[in-house]
Structures are given as structure tokens and as C-alpha cells.
């Protein structure tokens, strides 16, 4: 099955801080989670994607949070620079890739203003999480792509097995 996966989860150094959120190498993941992730990678066709980089942002970059999650959307950096257009462009590029390659499922980075599918930071840069979706996760879901995050590996794997 074709899978869209956040580049940072694959170990690519594309996070705002210049690092990654590698599942395979991350200390916060158990051996069984790492093993499951590696099985998923080996058994499927992987499309690595970072919406922020695709939208024109550099690595590293200022941290950004979604301060308005309803239209008109607004994404600001900690220094109050408006990067909304970059996030919207990255979301559109992710959707285009999914549509062009017939990708029906994505594993995206939790809590991200682009990729979060359950909770995101509240826009005040104080570490508070709120219910909500990042712009890419939202656009993909609105267009029929099923989105999971790295804490949902078992559910992600079950979806893949059921729909392959």
C-alpha cells in the first residue's frame, strides 16, 4: 500500500529545531513499536513528506503554532512572523501528492501545526495542547485521506492490513 509518512518520523532532519522525530531510533519508542514501524516500512511503498519544507520553510526555523484554526487560518512563529502561506502551500502539496499517487493513508507527526491529527499547541507558545488538527492533517482528512500519528502505530497497521 502507498503510505505518506512525515519525513521527521523517518529520521530526516526537517523539524523546526533541525532534528527529527525518528520512530526507528527514538528513545521514546519501545522495541516492539520500532519493530512494528520497520515492518510497515518494509511491506509498503513509502512517500516521505514534510509540509513545512515543501511550503518553503528552512531547517532549522523558528517554532510556529496555529493561532487561528478556523478560516482565515493563521500560523505565527514565536517571534510573530506570519508563515501561514508556507503552511497552506505545504498542505496543498501534500494533498497533491496523495491525489497524484493515489495515497489513501498517512502517518503524520502528532502535535504539529501541520501534521497533528488530534491535538495541537494552542498558539501561545506555552506548551499547552488543545483538541485540533494541523493544516495538512485537516486538508488530507477533508479529502478522504485517513490520518494517523506516531502514537497510533497499531491502529495504523490495522488500517493498512484491512485495506490492502
User: Number of C-alpha atoms within 13 angstroms, CB side, residue 149?
Assistant: 19
Residue-wise pLDDT tens digits, 31-56: 999 999 999 999 999 999 999 999 99
Retrieve residue 163's grid coordinates.
485495506
Helices (H), 10-152: 31-43, 51-54, 84-101, 135-142
| Mean pLDDT of the chain, nearest integer | 97
pTM above 0.85, yes or no: yes
Contacts of residue 36, Cβ cutoff 8 Å, sequence gap at least 6 = 153, 154, 157
* Contact between 111 and 72 (Cβ < 8 Å): no
Residue-wise pLDDT tens digits, 144-155: 999 999 999 999
* Contact between 96 and 147 (Cβ < 8 Å): no
Residues of the chain above pLDDT 90, percent:
98
Which DSSP symbol is given to 73? P
- Residue 164 pLDDT > 90: no
Cα angle value 134/139/140 (rounded, 5°): 100
**Residue 109: pLDDT band by 50, 70, 90 thresholds?**
very high
Q: What per-residue confidence (pLDDT) applies to 40?
A: 98
Amino acid at each position: 500500500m502507498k503510505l505518506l509518512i512525515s519525513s521527521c518520523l523517518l529520521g530526516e532532519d526537517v523539524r523546526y529545531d533541525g532534528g527529527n522525530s525518528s520512530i526507528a531510533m527514538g528513545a521514546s519508542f519501545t522495541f516492539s513499536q520500532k519493530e512494528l514501524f520497520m515492518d510497515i516500512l518494509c511491506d509498503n511503498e513509502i512517500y516521505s513528506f514534510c509540509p513545512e519544507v515543501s511550503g518553503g520553510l528552512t531547517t532549522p526555523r523558528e517554532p510556529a503554532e496555529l493561532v487561528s484554526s478556523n478560516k482565515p487560518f493563521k500560523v505565527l512563529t514565536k517571534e510573530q512572523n506570519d508563515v501561514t502561506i508556507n503552511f497552506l502551500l505545504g498542505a496543498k502539496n501534500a494533498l497533491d501528492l496523495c491525489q497524484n499517487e493515489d495515497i489513501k493513508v498517512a502517518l503524520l507527526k502528532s502535535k504539529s501545526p501541520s501534521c497533528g491529527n488530534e491535538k495541537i499547541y494552542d498558539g501561545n507558545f506555552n506548551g499547552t495542547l488543545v483538541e485540533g488538527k494541523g493544516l495538512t492533517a485537516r486538508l488530507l482528512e477533508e479529502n478522504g485521506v485517513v490520518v494517523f500519528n506516531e502514537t497510533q502505530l497499531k491502529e495504523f497497521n490495522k488500517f493498512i492490513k484491512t485495506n490492502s
